[in-house]
Structure formats: C-alpha cells, structure tokens
Chains A and B, each alone.
Chain A
C-alpha cells in the first residue's frame, strides 16, 4: 500500500504562471514533509520541507502547504520558469528511526 500518492503523473504550465503540485499521504504520524526535484540521469535534489507543526513554508518562488486534516501536501511555484521542468517527488519522514518514503513523482513541464 502506498503511503504517499502523487496522483498526477504530469503537469504542463506556461512560463510565468503558477505550478501547483499535489501529494496525499495516509499516516498522520509523519514528522516532516519534503519536496525533491529530479533531472534525468541525476539524483534528486532537496527543494523545500515543512514540519508537521506548521502549515506553510516559503523559500523564494517555492511554497509548501500542509493540510493535516486532509492529509494533503502541495508545492506552489510562482512564477514558473522553463528551468523548473523536472520530476518532482513528494516525500515523508516520521519517527526517530524512520526512512524517507517517496511518491511516484510528477513530471512538470514549463513551456516558454
């Protein structure tokens, strides 16, 4: 059973517009929620995270929102740029001896 679900395999957005990537999780015990970005033939790169005690975290163009009651996480990218085109993975982490569990990813394509 999947603990982390990214239901949209792909998303296309125009440059300058907002990109919204979504993620749902099943376990309310997770401590941290993270987003990673991955280009082909490279390892994932950490983008932004949020603690379970917060509902929003911003870092430049990237904002992560956490809705604990809905067990839903989203990443907003504003404004979107062509260089943002990559696969975005949502990940969760919980407990002292936990591991990082990933969703299957959403491929974002930002067109000029």
Chain B
C-alpha cells in the first residue's frame, strides 16, 4: 500500500512570506500529526488532526496552523516566515492510537532566506 506522501520535498521561501505544506496519509488512516525537526532539537510536535478536528496542539506560535480534509489529507500553513522556521517538516499518519502505528513521510525541507 502507498506510504505517507508529503509535497513538496524541498521549498525555499523568503522571510515574511507564507507557505503551505501537504500530507497525504496512508489509506484508512484518520490521524495526521505534524512535527518540526531542527538540528539539536529533535522532533517537536506541532499538531495532530483526527477526522478533520485538531485533537492536540504543541507549543508553537499561532503562525503555524493546519487543517484536515474529509479524505484525511492534511495541510500545514506557516505565515510570516522567519529564518528560524527553516527545518524539516514531517507528517505522520496513524489509525489513531500511538502504540507504534505512526508512519512518517519523507518530509518537506523548508529553507527560509
């Protein structure tokens, strides 16, 4: 079965712009979580969507937002980009539980210049 698909793979944006990243989960998975990976900080949780509702939210500013569509595909938006937003953004899908069922995509590498 197809894995988790994230688009685009690479993105370069200018400070102050906004960006939208996309994630298509594994078919049948209703939960999509987003993580930010930066050097030295590991994977930091952004938010989780389950059946089109935000179920959990991490400690990130309001410039980071997301949504999930009825087909479980999810988008993440970052407005007013800052240099510090440069990171690998990872999306993970699961059936809804955490006991190992998270499958990650390959990520979107965002560079803010």
Chain A positions near chain B (C-beta within 8 angstroms): 6, 31-32, 34, 36, 41-46, 49, 51, 89, 93-94, 97-105
**How many A-B Cβ pairs are below 8 Å?**
64
A97 touches B55 (CB 8 A): yes
Q: A41-B106, A43-B107 are in contact. Are A100 and B33 (CB under 8 A)?
A: yes
* Residue on B nearest A95 in the bound complex, by CB: B98
A97 touches B56 (CB 8 A): yes
A44: which B residues are within 8 A, CB to CB?
43, 90, 104
- Asked if B45 CB lies within 8 Å of chain A CBs, one says yes
Q: Which 5 A-B pairs have the closest CB atoms?
A: A93-B98, A43-B104, A104-B42, A49-B100, A102-B43
* A45 CA / B99 CA spacing, docked (Å): 14
Chain B positions near chain A (C-beta within 8 angstroms): 4, 33, 35, 40-45, 48, 55-56, 58, 90, 92, 98-100, 102-107, 109
Q: A100-B92, A102-B42, A104-B40 are in contact. Are A46 and B99 (CB under 8 A)?
A: no
A36: which B residues are within 8 A, CB to CB?
104
Of the A-B pairs whose beta carbons lie under 8 Å apart in the complex, a sample of 10, sorted by A's number, is A32-B99, A34-B98, A41-B109, A44-B43, A46-B100, A46-B102, A100-B45, A104-B41, A104-B42, A105-B42
